[in-house]
Structure 1
Amino acid sequence: MGNILFFSESEILYRDLITALPQLNICFNSDPKELLKIIKKKNIQLIIIDMLNVENYDQSLIDLIRSKYIYKLLPLILILPLNYSLSDFEQWMLKCNDWIKYPLYIQELKAKILNQFKMLEINLNLKSKLYRADLINSVTRILNSTLDIDEVLNKIVELTVDLTSAYSGSIFLLDQEGNITHQVLSKQYVSQDIQNQILKKIMSYGLAGWVYKSQEPALVNDTRKDIRWLDVKKHDNSVNVSGINKSKKEIRSAICMPIIRRNIVLGIFTLHHTSPEHFTDDDLDLLKQITDQSSLSIENARLFGQVQQMAITDYLTGLYNRRLFFTLAEQEFFKSKRFQEPLSLLIMDIDHFKQVNDNYGHDCGDQVLQVVSRLMKKLIRRSDVLARYGGEEFIILMPKTELSGAYKLAERIRVQIENYEMKDKSKGSFNITVSLGVACADGHVESLPDLVTNADQALYRAKKKGRNNTEKFQTLEKQ
């Protein structure tokens, strides 16, 4: 049974109540200004208002309580004077749930209290069902309103965590190999280092791994006793899967639900709480409805994202395509001119690439392009822009980089590729080399096309010198 607030100016009557009803948890208040604070602080679920001294109050007291949406269902019981006048109290009685005359008959009051708690439970259950139905409608509206997958996931997690009073929630989207492609966390309940460790292992074992492999939902009432939750720790004691956050709260219960479309697991939706047995079968059903609603939209959003990605990337190497490169490069060139910062550009060509195709076949040639792309991606900074320029040519834009820095990067790329052993299944191993030209935007470079032309001229000079080397544009100008 919930907490009860007795609102009165008579502490004597309060003492009589707690003496007669010791099994009930009743607290006392006489200050209207503190009323809402006490209701919230004490988690009050029923209020008894003493009207014997009604001249000290007015109806705004009840209006104050009812003004808060969360208290609209809060039961109110009035204690009325013995010879009360209906006209005096009619408006009060219309705004309350029940009343009783003074002097009090304790058994009658107790019966009224029990009845109001029972009605409150019914109303809250009904409200919860209506709210959950409204949530499903909200999720549907969100899913139909956007193809932005991150926006969809964030809103779904936010709404579901709020409705289930979860401590935290997460959605992980997966590719066909079970690798995580998107993640949304409502709360970082472990350190980032631990989170990264868990993400590397999460689909191999543990609760999410079990759900992923079985394609079945899981309701964990106590993480200390459920082997599926403890499974990660069994495999790797360095991973603190109990979920200790900065406030030392331990995850004690969880729900984990697969997001399935066409018998393929698209992702995993998990809710956590710091108390055992927090979640119910109703929560499990709710999560099932939400994931069922979400699966089609997630699939559509993923396909939309793939189409967008295809429009800006090279299909073979996964690098930016030429069109996007020049869009980004124009922006960087403008910034470099405005803030008078160095901007360098590198163009690279694979030496004798036609011979690779002729001797080893076009499939092997494609593999060479992919290997070269991966090697270059490992050597550049996040701020650099790498793209496939066309055929066997690649281009890199390097913001805030002097010519000397661009030359050093070009040489690292050249040496790395030269030393890498390419492999062909039928004809064995072989090596390739590359030629590179670098240029820097200085006071003499007025446009991005001029910068590209300078780097291209440097590349031409590198090829003329016998290939497998790097040339700077300034070197050309001085000769």
Structure 2
Amino acid sequence: MSKPYQQFGLVLLISLWAGLGITGLVIGFTLTLTDAAIVQTFWLKGGAYCLILSPVISGLGGFFGWRFWARNLASAAQCQYDRGNCAIQAEQALQDSEKRFRAIFEQAAVGMVLITLEGHFFRVNQTVCHILGYDRPELLALKFNTILPTAKRDYYQTAIAQLKQGQLPHLSQETQLLHKNGMPIWIKMTLALVQDQQTQQPKYFLGVFENIHRRKEVETALRESEERFRQLAETVQDVFWLYDPQTEQILYVNQAYEQIWGRPCETIYNRPFSWLEAVYPDDQPMVKASLQSQFHGITTEKEFRILRPDGEMRWICDRAFPILNEQGVVDRIAGIATDITERKQTEQTLADKQHFIEKIANLTPNILYIYDLIEQRNIYSNQEINSLLGYSQDAIAQMGPQLFAQLMHPEDLTRLANYHQQFQAAQDGDILEIEYRLKDIHGQWHWLISRDTIFSRTPDGKPRQILGTASDITERKLAEAALLNANLQLQDKVHELEMRNAEMQCLEDMNEFLQVCSSVQEAYEGLATYLQPMFPNCTGVLYVLNRENQKPTVVTSWGKLSSINYTSPLPDRLAPWLDFPDHCCSDAQVSLAHNYLCIPMIALGETLGHLYIQGQAMGELAIAKRRFARTVTEHLALALANLELRENLRSQSLRDPLTGLYNRRYMEEALTQELRRAQRGEHTVGIILLDVDRFKQFNDTFGHNAGDRVLRVLSHFLKRNIRQSDVVCRYGGEELLLILPEATLADSYQRAEQIRQRVERLKIKHHGQRLGSVTISVGISGFPDHGETGEDLIQAADKALYQAKHQGRNCTVVYGVLN
């Protein structure tokens, strides 16, 4: 059975045989493949001749062509022998070709598949598996249409039908196939129908798949890049152009060409060098020479003039960039042409103005000079140098290269050398400036400012001489120095004023805080918040003297307190000052050599305490800061004294002067508030009303002072034996009342009994005389059991107290409970 890849050689042989007009028996076959020529020599015999067709193999092992010749057969025996020998050789060649075909099929760099007429894969090589992402068994289990995108299946179904019917010789195109992961990939696919050699019936399809996905991505990216380039080129005002020197054609020019040249883009596409016609005749040689440089791969930049069709002249700056291929040959030339007409007009205007300024400078009463940069000596100077420095022109010339070494200030010599070096890059017409000091003939220094421009160049274009003017700016420099000094002083004053304003604002904030404080303790707790911003880089402590023993106590502090020993209330070094508050802030004690100060707080002639401040760095407590500290201390002393006075007045209005207990007025307000809170929180309140038994007998026996002593001792005892939330008041005479929040009747009774029993054990003395045993009678009521108002509860407690008196005194009675 013939192989599908034998058909080409067979057709070639038959065609050749027919062309020679020879008929006979085919006894050998050729084997060919499209990509790798596997060709075998074969023989055909007709008449008395035997035609031999043999391949010509190139030196690299590839198929080069065919060589054939005819052999004259001398006899039938010889022909018979040749026929048998050729048949054996042909069979052996077929076997070898089959092996080579399989090897090439599997090792081919492109994917190769054999597809049945029904569309099933029945032979695939490893390359196609790699391209589509399948392994061989998976791919052999699929049909061809399963790897086709849905939108293209109908098209390929029609194309395959045309292949079967012979309407298409083969199908070759770039298309997309589905990868195993579902993503489409670009493939160059070739399908050919293989027919049976004898019957010419379709047998299967041979397919070749080449992966071109990466190439397609690059092409897509290139198209997008070209599109972006075109969009960019069409929006800019410069002319973008691209020229092909091989075809001598303009490949691209943007619309800016029409705006600048005033000619349509079609003209330059039709006649690539038509743009040259607009160039000024004087500039054309230079432009053409530039073009020749571009053809040799040299980047060029040139400025020239063009004349538009409307007669307007424009200056153009054209920059061309040759693009070389891998062989180093110019493949493309890209360029940008910019309209620089406005710039040229500006340059001409500046040149005219510069010339005018130079003329004026020559008439000004300044030093005019010409200085040689190479010889480093003065070539020319006018008479003004004699008026300013006292040196004659001859004396200046005799100094030669030592001119600046002898006259210039040493600090300016290095700057002058750098200044002269700048002229190496300067253009004609550039003016440079420098300020420096020169010494006159009397030894006085003068500030000068020089304005220099290049006057002449060497033949190779380097600057040689500079032309300049020097003006005396000594007075200006002195004025600038004075102004700078004044500005610095003003800045210091402004900074100091800002600090004083900030300090006064802080002081005002502290005063406002102290005014709204309801107690001295509240002021102590919040003072550090206001003192720290006043002395931000300091450590501070506020000491208050105890009224009884005059010992200092820390009430507030701020900053890092590591330098203060808290084992004692006040630093040891300040102890000697406590008895001498007037000297605490004297110049001797707080000289700037010290980094701390202690200021007494004095109000109404009384020392309340001391403010101690210590700077974290030397110089922190300057004189102004110390004065401010004194002001702060004075405000503190006055505010704290006022707070203490307010507290005393408030205490006197709310407390009984004899016992120190809250008075009846405060009791009524406190009881009303507590009952409201109890009603909201739905909890109880206990009332204890107690009375000293036989108090009149104490007064009659020991005197009223002894009675007062009993009441004070009893009040002091009650304050030490109640909870923080309890309130004890003097209700009247020898009657005292306790308000017990959240206490039940049982709690109140238990508490009353404890108080009664402890009072009975009190040992009270007056002037060294024991007053005898003191007992109390107690009446108890409670909210809400005995009423909703304070008046109801006090009446109930008073009735219970009366019952306790009636029962023999020194006992506790709960209202409504039979004891």
AA at the equivalent of 2:811: N
Q: 1:142 to 1:450 in 2, by over 3 A?
A: same
1:341 Cα offset (Å): 0.6
Q: Is the 8 A contact 1:217 1:257 kept in 2?
A: no
**CA distance in 2: counterparts of 1:122 and 1:154, whole angstroms:** 40
Aligned to 1:249: none
309 and 423 in structure 1: CA distance in 2 versus 1, 3 angstrom threshold: same
1:339 is aligned with what amino acid? G
Name the counterpart of 2:787.
445
Deviation at 1:448, TM superposition (A): 2.0
- Provide the C-alpha distance between the structure 1 equivalents of 2:725 and 2:635, rounded to a whole number of angstroms: 39
CA contact (8 A) 1:259 1:291 kept: yes
Return the letter of the residue paired with 2:750: K
Equivalent position of 1:320 in the other structure:
662
Match of 2:802 in 1: 460
Alignment of 1:165 onto 2:536: yes
Aligned to 1:176: 547
Query: In structure 2, do the counterparts of structure 1 residues 294 and 474 end up closer, same or farther at CA, with 3 Å as the change threshold?
Result: same
1:132 paired to 2:500: yes
Measured after TM superposition, the shift of residue 121 of structure 1 is: 7.7
- Pair 119,366 (structure 1): closer, same or farther in 2 beyond 3 Å: farther
| SS at structure 2 position matched to 1:347 | strand
Give the 3-state SS of the residue equivalent to 1:146 in structure 2: helix
Name the amino acid aligned to 2:671.
Answer: A
Q: Partner residue of 2:756?
A: 414
Larger % of helix: which? 1
Q: Normalised by the size of structure 1, how large is the TM-score?
A: 0.58
Tell me how far 1:183 sits from its aligned partner: 7.3
Task: Decide whether aligned partners of structure 1 residues 411 and 117 sit closer, same or farther in structure 2, where only a CA change above 3 A counts.
Answer: farther
Q: Which amino acid aligns with 2:605?
A: N
CA contact (8 A) 1:375 1:416 kept: no
Identity %: 26
Q: Check the 8 A contact 2:543/2:611 in 1, yes or no.
A: yes
* Amino acid corresponding to residue 462 of structure 1 in structure 2: A
Cα distance in 1 for partners of 2:657, 2:432 equals: 85
Work out the CA distance in 1 between the residues paired with 2:801 and 2:756: 13
| Contact 1:437 1:455 (C-alpha < 8 Å) held by counterparts | yes
- Counterpart CA distance in 1 for 2:723 and 2:761 is 21
Match of 2:491 in 1: 123
Matched-pair contact (CA < 8 Å) for 1:217–1:255: no
Q: Is the 8 A contact 1:166 1:271 kept in 2?
A: no
Corresponding residue for residue 17 of structure 1:
none
Quick one: distance in 1 between partners of 2:747 and 2:574? 45
Correspondence for 1:304: 646
Match of 2:687 in 1: 345
- SS of 2:730's equivalent? strand
CA contact (8 A) 1:211 1:258 kept: no
**One-letter identity of the residue aligned with 2:633:** T
Q: Cα offset for 1:182?
A: 10
1:334 to 2:701 alignment: no
Q: Which moved more, 1:302-311 or 1:265-274?
A: 265-274
Give the Cα–Cα distance (whole angstroms) in 1 for the partners of residues 630 and 800 of structure 2: 61
In 2 relative to 1, CA 339–183 (structure 1 residues): closer, same or farther, beyond 3 Å?
Answer: farther
Deviation at 1:393, TM superposition (A): 0.9
Deviation for aligned residue 1:146: 3.2
Higher relative contact order (CA 8 A, sep 6+): 1
User: In structure 2, what residue type is equivalent to 1:301?
Assistant: L
| Structure 1 equivalent of residue 581 of structure 2 | 215
Alpha-carbon spacing, 1:418–1:278, altered in 2? closer, same or farther (3 Å): farther
Q: Are the counterparts in 1 of residues 804 and 811 from structure 2 also a CA contact under 8 Å?
A: yes
Q: Which among 719, 728, 735 is matched to residue 393 of structure 1?
A: 735
Q: Report SS of the residue matched to 1:369.
A: helix
Q: Does 1:185 align with 2:556?
A: yes
2:569 is aligned to 202
Structure 2 CA distance for partners of 1:285 and 1:337, relative to 1, 3 Å: same
**What residue in structure 2 maps to residue 295 of structure 1?**
637
Q: Is the 8 A contact 1:147 1:300 kept in 2?
A: no
Structure 2 residue aligned with 1:369, among 696, 711, 715?
Answer: 711
Deviates more, 1:306-315 or 1:292-301: 292-301
State the match for 1:381 in structure 2.
723
Aligned partners of 2:506 and 2:773: how far apart in 1? 58
Distance in 2 between residues matched to 1:415 and 1:322, nearest whole Å: 25
The 8 Å contact of residues 387 and 396 in structure 1, kept in 2 or not, is answered as yes
- Evaluate the alpha carbon distance shift between residue 188 and residue 455 of structure 1 in structure 2; reply closer, same or farther with a 3 A threshold: farther
- Match of 1:368, SS state, is helix
SS of 2:724's partner is coil
Is 1:172–1:180's contact at 8 Å kept on the other side of the alignment?
A: no
Q: What is the CA RMSD across the aligned residues, in angstroms?
A: 4.4
Say if 1:202 and 1:209, in contact at 8 Å, map to a contact too: no
1:189 shift after superposition: 7.0
Counterparts of 1:160 and 1:172, CA distance in 2? 14
Q: Residue 544 of structure 2 contacts residue 552 of structure 2 at CA under 8 Å; is this kept in 1?
A: yes
**1:50-95 CA distances to partner (integer Å, 9 max, x unpaired)?**
xxxxxxxxxxxxxxxxxxxxxxxxxxxxxxx99899xxxxxxxxxx
Deviations 1:245-304 (A, max 9, x none): xxxxxxx97543211124311232233555677434443332222223443444333323
Quick one: structure 1 residues 341 and 367, their matched pair in 2 at CA, closer, same or farther if it must change by over 3 Å? Answer: same
In structure 1, give the amino acid aligned to 2:569.
I
Task: Specify whether residues 127 and 362 from structure 1 end up closer, same or farther in structure 2 by C-alpha distance, changes over 3 A only.
Answer: farther
Aligned-partner SS, 2:817: helix
Partner of 1:66: none
Conserved? CA contact 2:763–2:770, under 8 Å: no
Question: C-alpha separation between the residues in 2 aligned to 1:444 and 1:172?
Answer: 51
Is the Cα–Cα contact under 8 Å of residues 542 and 557 in structure 2 kept in the other structure?
Answer: no
Could you tell me which runs of 5 or more consecutive residues in structure 2 were left unpaired when the two chains were aligned. 1-421, 423-429, 434-479
Kept after mapping to 1: 8 A contact 2:709/2:766: no
Aligned length: 337
| Offset, 1:445 | 2.3
Structure 1: 5+ residue stretches without partners: 1-80, 86-111, 220-225, 227-251
How much has 1:127 moved relative to structure 2?
Answer: 2.5
**Deviation of the 1:131 alpha carbon:** 3.1
Q: Secondary structure at the match of 1:305?
A: helix
Q: Tell me if structure 2 keeps the 8 A contact 1:435–1:462.
A: yes
Secondary structure of residue in 2 paired with 1:415: helix
**1:465 Cα deviation after fit:** 2.0
Q: How far apart, CA to CA, are the structure 1 residues paired with 2:551 and 2:431?
A: 72
What do the CA deviations read for 1:388-446 (whole angstroms, capped 9, x no partner)?
Answer: 11111111111111112212221222222221211121634533111111222135523
Deviation at 1:125, TM superposition (A): 5.8
Q: Retained in 2: the 8 A contact 1:347–1:438? A: yes
Give the aligned partner of residue 334 of structure 2: none
| Partner residue, 2:515 | 146
State the one-letter code of the partner of 1:123. Answer: Q
1:9-20 matched pairs, under 5 angstroms: none
Structure 2 residue matching 1:344: 3-state secondary structure: strand
Structure 1 382/267 Cα, relative in aligned 2: closer, same or farther at 3 Å? same
Give me the TM-score of the superposition, normalised by structure 2. 0.36
1:334 corresponds to which letter in structure 2?
A: R
Conserved in 2, the CA contact under 8 Å of 1:135 and 1:159? no
Q: Contact (CA 8 Å) 2:584, 2:600: kept in 1 or not?
A: no
Give 1:359's aligned residue. Answer: 701
3-state SS, counterpart of residue 661 of structure 2: coil
